[in-house]
């Protein structure tokens, strides 16, 4: 045994306290009472079972907006559309009024489906326009009624003049444009139009 234990350090013995240790603390069954006022939690009322039952794809009433549609008055001498036999009934037609309200024209409910002959054509509804277009048309109509029109732009000259040669900026006088740049054949120092266009395209 002494031969096998050569070169090995002896193990530390179990530490033993010189005095008697106090007994271990007992686990408390109840938490100690805290000092000071206790916080009261204010919870919302319980609404279990009060939610409305909605069909799939239906939104609650708070998320929908109702837009009442007033039916347009119909003249007694205008024939109502009648559905031909074997055809689906016609649906109502919505028309945009000048005061930005929508009117719905519905077919007569008492029309018989056994009448002979094709059904009368219903006039096509007006194309909806924006409020700005409607405002401009109204102002234009008021100007035509009053006879007062806007002052039209009157051009003072018939052509623009080149600042380098003093000639009109037209093709007949050797001028050409590329974007905001102008080519003048008299002030190009011998440069051709094709070379000038290649330079302008290379810069952009």
pLDDT at 111: 45
**Per-position pLDDT tens, the chain of length 204:** 566 666 677 676 777 888 888 998 888 777 777 778 888 889 899 988 888 877 776 666 555 555 556 655 555 454 455 555 555 555 567 777 777 677 776 666 554 444 445 555 666 666 777 888 899 889 888 888 887 777 777 788 888 889 888 888 888 888 998 888 899 988 888 889 999 999 989 887
Give kind and range of the element (H or E) at residue 177: strand 175-178
Give kind and range of the element (H or E) at residue 94: strand 93-96
pLDDT at 49: 86
CA torsion through residues 30, 35, 41, 42, sign: positive
Count of other CB atoms within 10 angstroms of residue 184: 17
pTM of the model: 0.28
pLDDT at 149: 72
pLDDT at 183: 92
DSSP annotation of 104: E
Instruction: Write out the two tokens for 204.
Output: 């952009």
């Amino acid at each position: 045994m002494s031969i096998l234990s050569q070169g090995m350090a002896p193990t530390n013995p179990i530490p033993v306290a010189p005095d008697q240790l106090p007994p271990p603390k007992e686990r408390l069954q109840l938490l100690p009472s805290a000092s000071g006022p206790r916080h009261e939690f204010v919870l919302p009322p319980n609404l279990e079972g009060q939610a409305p039952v909605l069909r799939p794809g239906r939104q609650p009433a708070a998320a929908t907006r109702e837009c009442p549609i007033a039916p347009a008055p119909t003249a007694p001498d205008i024939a109502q559309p009648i559905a031909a036999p074997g055809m689906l009934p016609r649906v109502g037609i919505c028309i945009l009024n000048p005061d930005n309200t929508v009117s719905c024209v519905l077919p007569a409910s008492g029309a018989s489906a056994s009448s002979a002959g094709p059904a009368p054509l219903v006039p096509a509804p007006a194309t909806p326009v924006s409020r700005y277009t409607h405002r401009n048309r109204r102002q234009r109509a008021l100007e035509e009624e009053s006879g007062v029109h806007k002052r039209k732009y009157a051009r003072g000259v018939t052509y623009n003049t080149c600042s380098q040669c003093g000639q009109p900026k037209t093709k007949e006088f050797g001028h050409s444009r590329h974007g905001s740049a102008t080519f003048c054949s008299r002030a190009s120092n011998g440069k051709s139009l094709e070379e000038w266009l290649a330079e302008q395209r290379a810069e952009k």
